[in-house]
């Protein structure tokens, strides 16, 4: 992440967005778009990748979230990232549903994990479903820790910054706790 953006916390920037500061919105976009794009690029099911541009979808989602930022009170950057992830998951599902309807199909009721066949290829569909369901049963702190480490690939130092923990070791402990909890649900 760019150091100049790091000088202002996500929470500060969000506050500024809420008070109508357009430049804060731009800075949040610059900060989060690359991370989200990287996350989203591999998540679109293969058969829909030609229909929807992942980069556009990410941008639209982020802008929508920022436009409705009043709905969200971030505790810290990690929470915001987790929130963005769930917005993006929903956007991808909506897009798939729309594509299916455009193709002449009936409404498709998508459940968890269907939208990530690339990951499913490696771990198997069932594991992925279990993982998604287990995530929803974790505490918010544990869920963030898993997402930041597994899905966004942050280092422990970065996780510490994103979740306002004092040290990288503290973040490591948090991730360890979260993985233990996750493994008990799998």
Partner 1 sequence: MAVDEAWLEALLDGEAPSSAAPTAAMGKLARLQQAFAELQWAELDATAADAVSLFGWGHLEVRERIGHGGFGEVYRAFDPMLQREVALKLRRAGNQIAPAAGRAFIEEARRLAQVRHPHVLAVHGAAVHAGRAGIWTDLIAGETLAARIARDGPLSAEALLQMLLALSGALAAVHAKAIVHGDLTPNNVMCELASERYVLMDFGGGASLDEHGTARLLAGSLHFMAPEHLGSQRLGTAADMYALGATLVYAATRRKAAGDSGTQALSQRTDLSREFRQLVSRLLAQDPDARPNATEVRECSRDLLSAPDRRKRLRLRQALFLALTLAVIASVTGLLFTLHTRAQVEVERNRAVATRDFLLKMMQVPNPTQSMQSTQRLDVFFKRAVEALPAAFADDPQTEAMLLNQFARSLQILDQEDAALVALVRADQILSAAGVPITDPDRIDARDYLGTSYRLRRNFPAAIALDNEQAALCLGATPLPLRTCINIVNDQIQSIGYGGDPARALKLAETNLQRAHEGGLDADDRTTYTHFLQGIMQRDLGQSAVALESFLTLSELTLRSVPAEHPALFVGLAWLAWSADDLGDVELAMALNEYAAAAYAKLFGVDAHHSMPTRVQQATLAFQAGDSARARAIFRGLMKLPNRGVFASMHEHVAVQAALAGDQDISTEDLIAAEHSRLAAVGEDDRSLARLRLDLAALAIKRGQLAESAQMLQRLQGRGLRDDFQALQPMYWQLMRDLTLAAPEPDLTLAADASERVLAGLRQQQRRMFDPVTEQWVGDPVPGAAASLARIRAAAEKVYARRRTITQNHP
Which two structure tokens, joined as six digits, stand for 54? 């992942």
CB 81 within 8 A of CB 148: yes
CB 136 within 8 A of CB 70: no
- What is the nearest approach in angstroms of partner 1 to the Cβ of residue 183? 4
Residue placing its CB nearer to partner 1 in the complex, 6 or 101: 101
| Alpha helices by DSSP H, the chain | 3-6, 10-18, 22-41, 46-49, 54-67, 77-102, 117-123, 125-137, 140-146, 156-162, 168-185
Q: Which 3 state secondary structure label does DSSP give 74?
A: coil
| Distance of alpha carbon 3 from alpha carbon 51, whole angstroms | 35
- What is the nearest approach in angstroms of partner 1 to the Cβ of residue 180? 5
CB 54 within 8 A of CB 45: no
Which residues lie near partner 1 (CB under 8 A)?
34, 37-39, 41-42, 47, 50, 52-53, 56-57, 60, 63-64, 67-68, 71, 100, 103-114, 118-119, 122-125, 127-131, 150-151, 153, 172, 175-176, 179-180, 182-184, 186
Residue placing its CB nearer to partner 1 in the complex, 12 or 68: 68
- What is the nearest approach in angstroms of partner 1 to the Cβ of residue 64? 6
Residue placing its CB nearer to partner 1 in the complex, 88 or 175: 175
Residue placing its CB nearer to partner 1 in the complex, 75 or 176: 176
- What is the nearest approach in angstroms of partner 1 to the Cβ of residue 114? 6
């Amino acid at each position: 992440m760019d150091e100049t953006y790091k000088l202002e916390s996500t929470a500060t920037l969000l506050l500024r967005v809420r008070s109508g500061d357009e430049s804060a919105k731009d800075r949040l976009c610059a900060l989060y778009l690359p991370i989200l794009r990287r996350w989203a690029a591999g998540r679109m099911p293969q058969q829909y990748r030609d229909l929807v541009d992942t980069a556009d979808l990410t941008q639209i989602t982020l802008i929508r979230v920022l436009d409705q930022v009043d709905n969200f009170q971030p505790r810290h950057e990690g929470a915001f990232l987790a929130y963005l992830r769930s917005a993006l998951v929903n956007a991808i599902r909506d897009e798939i549903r729309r594509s299916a309807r455009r193709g002449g199909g009936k409404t498709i009721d998508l459940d968890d994990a269907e939208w990530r066949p690339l990951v499913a290829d490696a771990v198997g569909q069932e594991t992925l479903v279990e993982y998604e369901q287990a995530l929803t049963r974790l505490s918010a702190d544990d869920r963030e820790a898993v997402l930041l480490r597994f899905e966004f690939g942050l280092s422990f130092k970065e996780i510490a910054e994103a979740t306002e923990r004092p040290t990288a070791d503290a973040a490591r402990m948090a991730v360890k706790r979260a993985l233990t909890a996750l493994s008990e649900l799998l």
